[in-house]
Structure 1
């Protein structure tokens, strides 16, 4: 990565022409404040955490949504919700370097497919919109909830205010109320409605036109994550943006070429000038 590209990306994040898209890798340096254990963020670590530190059957280890579906079928959907809330809402974690860096830049629009609260904490001093993905809920045609943060608390709202920052948490968050996309059934419902246009508010469909994206901490070798990402960045400029992938696979190279993402063979922590996680 050249100094010129780095400067251009940072300038785009600041002026809103480039949208950060955060994956589990941005949490690689986050630890349990009490024990020092790493936060479970990627697919494998989430499965181990959900199963008391033990692996599940090989076919379930393939992807967290599949494992979560198995738990849901055996113990109910609430078991998965309680696990995620206990993990991300009730446990104290150290701050991540990427989130502290984003706090200083304060991009206008951020997409975060993690389920933790660090992004929301970064914007705690700033009034902002929060969009939270939902699935399999009756009484609405849409697959999102909207909130407004007034600097003290979240309030439900019916519309996005595009004049203030927008935080999009499509896979959910424990705050202000625990809501998650986790199991296969959740993803099928959410992605189906995402493709139909019902998982993104109208104001965001307008806001995202012509944007470019910087994918941070996200490998592109999982079909589920790729489908979510491709629909969320619909209407992007061409090229669509950049993705940090150290030692990309041939599958990732082909996919990125297909959708117009330029691979930066580097780590997000290198980009922000932070120490590599141990």
Structure 2
């Protein structure tokens, strides 16, 4: 659908009310300036293989290239390359900041950079939020996630359905992220381990499972032309509401069309920048009304 301004305003109001969960992908970086980090799996594959030689046939395949580096140059080398790739943080866009300020109970960020994390720190310095990141089984065997306070301190707590005291918002980073501890799910082995268990929800934090119940998802900056992207989205939104939205402009692949129909995701066929401007306005208006 081509969303009317009133529809986008409604989406913003529902995010602010806690009824819709924003689910952000790497294309959110298109809204930022001074972007020096990879903004897609292909760009990331090219970045890490420029620093470590891999067979030519897998140079553009992120998970396979990462696996080769892990196997033949050690996991620490792969983590170091990821840290280097995401060493800088693009300044948050207006939409990043508006989402951070919205006090949505759950935000999902499916890229490795720290822009949304910095938006939360900027919009809510009081620290009434925290994050949970997915962990690689290569480095944390038997432990699927780690929770961190707003300041980056690791929390010594089990995977629990309730948020820690004082948290109003949970930032969930299923693929990990650079800050604060360089946790990355990026190699074939990382994903095989998670996908083996994800259908029974073991790698999905219990707090995420609780917060998604009865809520809808709004996918921004995501594409579903990759099996991994579809698998993670499908399992993260499991047992949530039966109505969702995705901002997707232009032709869709056959698999994307099938996925949207399967998950009852309504397509918003608008340029990302146009949608972001309207949603930012709506979130700002909702915040002003709540003040």
Both structures adopt the same fold (TM-score exceeding 0.5): yes
TM-score w.r.t. length of structure 1: 0.86
Match of 1:144 in 2: 145
Match of 2:62 in 1: 64
Q: Is the 8 A contact 2:130 2:149 kept in 1?
A: yes
Per mean C-alpha deviation after superposition, the further-off stretch among 173-182 and 130-139 is 130-139
> Match for 2:27 among 17, 25, 28?
25
Distance 1:211 1:58 in 2: 44
Structure-to-structure mapping, 1:113-192, within 5 angstroms: 113-124=110-121, 125=125, 126-137=127-138, 141-149=142-150, 152-158=151-157, 159=160, 160-161=162-163, 164-192=168-196
> Match for 1:242 among 245, 261, 285?
245
Q: 1:188 deviation in Å?
A: 0.9
The answer to whether structure 1 residue 43 and structure 2 residue 41 are counterparts is yes
Structure-to-structure mapping, 1:265-276, within 5 angstroms: 265-273=269-277
Distance 2:69 2:238 in 1: 32
Q: 1:234 deviation in Å?
A: 0.6
Match of 2:96 in 1: 99
Q: Which has the higher relative contact order, 1 or 2, with Cα contacts under 8 A spaced 6 or more apart?
A: 2
Count of residues paired in the alignment: 266
Distance 1:172 1:254 in 2: 28
Q: 1:87 deviation in Å?
A: 2.2
CA separation of 1:140 and 1:75: change in aligned 2, threshold 3 A = closer
Distance 1:26 1:71 in 2: 28
Q: 1:167 deviation in Å?
A: 0.4
Match of 2:14 in 1: 12
Distance 2:72 2:140 in 1: 26
Partner-residue secondary structure (3-state), 2:199: helix
The answer to whether structure 1 residue 196 and structure 2 residue 200 are counterparts is yes
Structure 1 residues 140-197: Cα deviation after superposition (integer angstroms, max 9, x where no partner): 6341111222xx4424131451652100011111222111100011011122222222
Unaligned runs of 5+ in 2: 279-291
Distance 2:255 2:208 in 1: 30
Distance 1:238 1:263 in 2: 14
Per mean C-alpha deviation after superposition, the further-off stretch among 263-272 and 109-118 is 263-272
The answer to whether structure 1 residue 219 and structure 2 residue 218 are counterparts is no
Unaligned runs of 5+ in 1: none
TM-score w.r.t. length of structure 2: 0.83
Q: 1:138 deviation in Å?
A: 6.9
Partner-residue secondary structure (3-state), 2:58: coil
The root-mean-square deviation of aligned C-alpha atoms, in Å, is 2.4
Greater helix share, structure number = 2
> Match for 2:234 among 227, 230, 236?
230
Per mean C-alpha deviation after superposition, the further-off stretch among 73-82 and 97-106 is 97-106
Partner-residue secondary structure (3-state), 1:41: coil
Q: Is the 8 A contact 1:242 1:261 kept in 2?
A: yes
> Match for 2:81 among 59, 80, 83?
83
Distance 1:226 1:168 in 2: 17
